[in-house]
């Protein structure tokens, strides 16, 4: 029997999601806890591989188990997990369902704050410069929906068979009163560092170190940006993963 487990986590103290020998990872923690509860080795498969320091408000992993699960299963998982992780929902799915390959789309949020706040450390990117030109940043947003090849806004990965991504949502939520900014983006798939480089490009446009025309030319002609920055990991959140067989509040 196959189960999907909806999870959330704060990635500040971890070396990313994927299991790595000798390192503390999100997946490693869930594998360990599930194996202890079920008295057998459990190897989970995740919806994605977030980097070190990146967070998830919602993600999923799947695992197989041949008998009924113990009572109070979620309670037992949460009691044993580190404080930075939570199991939120357990869903019985078809044996062929796959947490990574069956996802229709994923949504990310990148959070930025402009006033130093120790209580946001590790949970949002403190931008230690004058606030950017948000209007200029917003004017560049349609470019992300008009182009499909994101080779120039991602980290090269020889394993990638394609650099095509279909971005269906790209918006900026500006809160000048509280001095913060949030970039929200949704696509059918994302490449390595893609959201962080999209954010870096927007911030460069916001401080007038890069123009929308230069971003358009880069995406259109597949040439490197003259200013190619990767926003730091602490501001990035995986916020939603959408599957055809799981109800989800699409916000």
Task: Write out pLDDT tens, residues 97-115.
Answer: 999 999 999 999 999 999 9
Is residue 98 a contact partner of residue 244, using CB atoms and an 8 Å limit? Answer: no
80 within a domain of the structure (yes/no): yes
Number of independent structural domains in the chain: 2
Co-location of 222 and 111 in the same domain: yes
Co-location of 192 and 215 in the same domain: yes
Is residue 111 a contact partner of residue 180, using CB atoms and an 8 Å limit? Answer: yes
Co-location of 95 and 120 in the same domain: no
Report, as residue numbers or ranges, the catalytic residues: 51
Co-location of 74 and 157 in the same domain: no
Co-location of 196 and 83 in the same domain: no
Q: Where residue 19 falls among pLDDT bands split at 50, 70, 90? A: very high
Q: Note if the pTM is more than 0.85.
A: yes
Co-location of 117 and 45 in the same domain: no
The CATH number assigned to the domain holding 168 equals 3.30.70.660
248 within a domain of the structure (yes/no): no
Secondary structure in 3-state letters for the chain: CEEEEEEEECCCCCCCCCCCCCCCCHHHHHHHHHHHHHCCCCCCEECCCCCCCCEEEEEEEEEECCCCCCCCHHHHHHHHCCCCEEEEEEEEECCCCCCCCCCCEEEEEEEEECCCCHHHCCCCEECCCCCCCHHHHHHHCHHHHHCCECHHHCCCCCCCCCCECCEEEEEEEEECCCCEEEEEEEECCCCCCHHHHHHHHHHHHHCCCCCHHHHHHHHHHCCCCCCCCCCCHHHEEEEEEECCCCCCCCC
> Which among 52, 41, 42, 54 has a CA at the least distance from the CA of 5?
42
Co-location of 147 and 232 in the same domain: yes
Co-location of 125 and 229 in the same domain: yes
- Mean pLDDT score across all residues of the chain: 95
The CATH number assigned to the domain holding 98 equals 3.30.70.580
250 within a domain of the structure (yes/no): no
Co-location of 119 and 144 in the same domain: yes
pLDDT of residue 249: 66
**pLDDT tens figures, 34-89:** 999 999 999 999 999 899 999 999 999 999 999 888 889 999 999 999 999 999 99
Is residue 140 a contact partner of residue 218, using CB atoms and an 8 Å limit? Answer: no
- Give me the domain span that covers residue 38: 2-102
Co-location of 110 and 230 in the same domain: yes
Integer angstrom CA distances of residue 6 from 2, 57, 75: 13, 10, 14
66 within a domain of the structure (yes/no): yes
251 within a domain of the structure (yes/no): no
Co-location of 87 and 122 in the same domain: no
Dist. CA 7–CA 23, nearest whole Å: 20
- How would you class 132 by CB atoms within 10 Å of its CB: exposed for 0-12, middle for 13-18, buried for 19 or more? buried
Domain boundary among 102, 124, 155: 102
Q: Which has the minimum average pLDDT: 2-6, 65-69, 99-103, 135-139? A: 65-69
As a whole number, mean pLDDT of residues 159-176 equals: 93
Dist. CA 235–CA 106, nearest whole Å: 17
90 within a domain of the structure (yes/no): yes
Co-location of 82 and 147 in the same domain: no
Domain boundary among 51, 71, 102: 102
CB count in 10 Å sphere of residue 208: 10
Domain boundary among 56, 83, 102: 102
With a cut of 70, say whether residue 203 has pLDDT above it: yes
249 within a domain of the structure (yes/no): no
């Amino acid at each position: 029997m196959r189960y999907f487990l909806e999870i959330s986590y704060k990635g500040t103290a971890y070396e990313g999601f994927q299991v790595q020998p000798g390192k503390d990872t999100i997946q490693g923690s869930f594998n360990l806890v599930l194996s202890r509860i079920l008295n057998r080795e459990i190897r989970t498969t995740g919806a994605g591989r977030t980097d070190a320091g990146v967070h998830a408000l919602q993600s999923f992993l799947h695992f197989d188990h041949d008998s009924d699960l113990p009572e109070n299963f979620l309670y037992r998982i949460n009691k044993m997990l580190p404080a930075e992780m939570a199991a939120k929902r357990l869903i019985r799915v078809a044996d062929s369902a796959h947490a990574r390959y069956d996802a229709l789309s994923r949504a990310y949020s990148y959070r930025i704050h402009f006033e130093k706040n120790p209580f946001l450390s590790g949970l949002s990117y403190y931008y230690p410069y004058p606030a950017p030109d948000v209007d200029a940043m917003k004017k560049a947003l349609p470019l992300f929906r008009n182009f499909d090849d994101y080779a120039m806004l991602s980290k090269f990965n020889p394993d990638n068979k394609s650099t095509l991504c279909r971005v269906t949502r790209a918006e900026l939520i500006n809160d000048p009163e509280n001095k913060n900014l949030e970039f929200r983006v949704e696509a059918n798939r994302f490449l390595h560092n893609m959201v962080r480089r999209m954010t870096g490009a927007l911030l460069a446009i916001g401080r007038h170190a890069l123009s929308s025309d230069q971003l358009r030319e880069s995406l259109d002609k597949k040439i490197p940006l003259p200013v190619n920055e990767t926003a730091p990991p602490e501001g990035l959140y995986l916020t939603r993963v959408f599957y055809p067989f799981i109800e989800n509040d699409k916000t």
